Chain A
Amino acid sequence: ETGVTQSPTHLIKTRGQQVTLRCSSQSGHNTVSWYQQALGQGPQFIFQYYREEENGRGNFPPRFSGLQFPNYSSELNVNALELDDSALYLCASSLGDSNTGELFFGEGSRLTVL
């Protein structure tokens, strides 16, 4: 059974640039959610995708967008990067469209914006 994998693990961007982060969900899981975790803080929910549709979104501006593909892998895109976007971005996969199931997290992508 393959776990949740994320890429890249680390990246550095400058303010104003755009970034794409990728996530492969655990085998058999059809739901992917994304979280932003600033240093010393808890994860903050960005959005969730279920069967290629966004079905839940946290308090993040539209420059945070995503996709889910037919194989249930997912991308997080962030445009017009700001310094405050520096954080660990976590992807989690689960089974089903509700959040009553266990979330399986990837190791995260650490983004630094200079």
Chain B
Amino acid sequence: QQPVQSPQAVILREGEDAVINCSSSKALYSVHWYRQKHGEAPVFLMILLKGGEQKGHDKISASFNEKKQQSSLYLTASQLSYSGTYFCGTEVSGTYKYIFGTGTRLKVLA
């Protein structure tokens, strides 16, 4: 039931792009994205509420394909500060239970 993220880990050089995918076996009605740096709490990046919605700020954007039950996070021209573990999250439909995806560890090298 936990959304599966891919890749599990990725290493980039500064300035490179990355895509993180989040796929669910259950219907998704909203998707959150969070970044968690080592030893810190998760920090909200963005929420997508409608199928097909795309959002972005700075050089991080995301898309949500409700039909395919998946969301993707796009990191453009990555910076050292992008390093961390990225989680997608969603509410289990019809409940108030919240679940996080399996996580993607991203490391940006200088």
B41–A45 CB distance below 8 A: no
Is B98 touching A100 in the complex (CB atoms < 8 A)?
A: no
Which stretch of A11-19, A51-59, A67-75 is in the interface? A51-59
Q: Does A77 contact B (CB under 8 A)?
A: no
Docked Cα-Cα span, A49 to B61, in Å, equals 31
B57 nearest CB across to chain A (Å): 13
List 28 A-B pairs, Cβ < 8 Å: A33-B98, A41-B103, A42-B87, A42-B101, A43-B42, A43-B100, A44-B100, A45-B99, A55-B96, A56-B96, A90-B41, A90-B42, A97-B96, A99-B96, A100-B30, A100-B47, A100-B49, A100-B91, A102-B44, A103-B32, A103-B34, A103-B44, A103-B98, A105-B42, A105-B43, A106-B41, A107-B41, A108-B41
